[in-house]
């Protein structure tokens, strides 16, 4: 039977505790969440039926600050997956150096089957259901899979109605017109390219002129492609569920984004080589840097030998399986997997900046916000790279950059818990 995401996360956590030399009680404390809320959300459907949806909010750890993590709407979500994601948010927020703990929320639903009115009712119902346990100083949700700024706008409005006054900081990634920040729209892809650029300058002799393949062309993939080209790299492959496009001369990213947003299919891009129905081409093309930006478990022990990139930067959550990662590091020409909890933290770091703005009722302009985000990403990348290189020099076995990231993340949470007298 395949290892579940929660089992994998707990295994990596345990290894990080051992590698960092932390007491075993740190693993015991972090292996379970502080609180789990299971809610029912009744929605009157357009045809008159009453549908009952199940939702969750997992609050994992708040040693460093309020719980923080997204809300996903998906037909296959489970409480166990939500627990794993909440643990991941504790570690991601710790590694990012921001004053947040970790949390995660979900509703088991296929939002594509709902009308706009039904989706609004579900969003408001979920906000009402979790309202007793959230707040701008307690737990601050944000979007995740199949949720967006409009859904956050409905939720912040519903919560504010319950409170009787506006509470902008209780949800982040809101529309810019409603207390949000325009950088949040592209922050995940932007942050991943900041990490890629720093890694390329540190280990590949520079970023400009490097070739990049991007697997997945949703929000993160599109903006990763856009910022990569703005900074002088060449995007040679992109893909979505419709198929892949490969052009060794370079893809016109702005045109590809226009085609994707107008037709919803990358395969309609008018140039380059087309691979209809095959979304995995970017994983295997000859490129310096691979940015997986779609879903988990796309680089596995079965296909990893076909991966040619020297550097992988994880804009998606969990795209590289542990077995595949081990094989990559055994390759002599391979540099590193910049792990998801570091590479795709641009979204939550931007959420933190938006939250700071909301608490003060004061807003920075777009360029200033983007510079703040880039500075945090750069600092965290080099801190992690430094620790990784130190650990590699001390150990006689393969130590991955993910190992170093987890050690740093656990270290900060452990220190906070110890100072607070929890351990």
Active site residues: 104
Other residues' Cβ atoms within 10 Å of the Cβ of residue 324: 21
Asked if residues 224 and 252 have their Cβ atoms less than 8 Å apart, the reply is: no
Q: Residue 3, SS3?
A: coil
CA-CA distance, 115 to 46, in Å (whole number)? 8
273-276/243-246 β-pairing = antiparallel
Asked if residues 115 and 46 have their Cβ atoms less than 8 Å apart, the reply is: yes
Asked if residues 352 and 98 have their Cβ atoms less than 8 Å apart, the reply is: yes
**DSSP annotation string for 287-313:** -SEEEE-S-SS-B-TTTGGG---SEEE
CA-CA distance, 65 to 62, in Å (whole number)? 5
CA-CA distance, 41 to 118, in Å (whole number)? 12
- The H-or-E segment that residue 373 falls in is helix 366-394
């Amino acid at each position: 039977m395949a290892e579940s995401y929660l089992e994998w996360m707990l295994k990596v956590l345990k290894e990080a505790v051992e590698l960092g030399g932390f007491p075993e009680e740190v693993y015991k404390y972090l292996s379970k969440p502080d609180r789990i809320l299971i809610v029912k959300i009744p929605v009157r459907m357009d045809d008159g039926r009453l549908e009952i949806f199940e939702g969750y909010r997992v609050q994992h750890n708040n040693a460093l600050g309020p719980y923080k993590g997204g809300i996903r709407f998906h037909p296959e979500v489970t409480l166990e997956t939500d627990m794993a994601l909440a643990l991941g948010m504790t570690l991601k927020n710790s590694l990012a150096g921001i004053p947040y703990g970790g949390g995660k929320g979900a509703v088991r639903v296929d939002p594509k089957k709902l009308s706009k009115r039904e989706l609004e009712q579900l969003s408001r119902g979920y906000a009402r259901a979790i309202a007793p346990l959230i707040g701008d100083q307690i737990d601050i949700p944000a979007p995740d899979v199949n949720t967006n700024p409009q859904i956050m706008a409905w939720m912040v409005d519903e919560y504010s109605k319950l409170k009787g006054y506006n509470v902008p900081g209780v949800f982040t990634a809101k529309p810019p017109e409603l207390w949000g920040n325009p950088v949040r729209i592209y922050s995940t892809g932007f942050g991943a390219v900041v990490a890629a650029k720093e890694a390329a300058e540190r280990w590949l002799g520079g970023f400009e002129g490097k070739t990049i393949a991007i697997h997945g062309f949703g929000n993160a993939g599109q903006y990763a492609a856009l910022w990569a080209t703005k900074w002088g790299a060449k995007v040679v492959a992109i893909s979505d569920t419709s198929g892949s496009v490969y052009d060794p001369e370079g893809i016109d990213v702005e045109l590809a984004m226009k085609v994707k947003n107008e037709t919803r299919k990358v395969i309609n891009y008018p140039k380059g080589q087309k691979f209809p129905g095959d979304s995995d081409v970017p994983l295997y093309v000859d490129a310096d840097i691979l940015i997986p930006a779609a879903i988990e478990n796309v680089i596995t022990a079965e296909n990893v030998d076909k991966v040619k990139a020297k550097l992988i930067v994880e804009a998606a959550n969990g795209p590289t399986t542990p077995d595949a990662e081990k094989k990559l590091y055994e390759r002599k020409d391979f540099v590193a997997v910049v792990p998801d909890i570091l590479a795709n933290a641009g979204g939550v770091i931007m959420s933190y900046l938006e939250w700071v703005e909301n608490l003060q009722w004061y807003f920075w302009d777009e360029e200033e916000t983007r510079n703040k985000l880039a500075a945090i990403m750069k600092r965290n990348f080099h801190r992690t790279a430094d620790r990784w290189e130190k650990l590699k020099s001390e150990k006689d076995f393969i130590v991955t950059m993910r190992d170093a990231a987890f050690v740093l993340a656990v270290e900060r949470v452990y220190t906070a818990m110890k100072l607070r007298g929890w351990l």
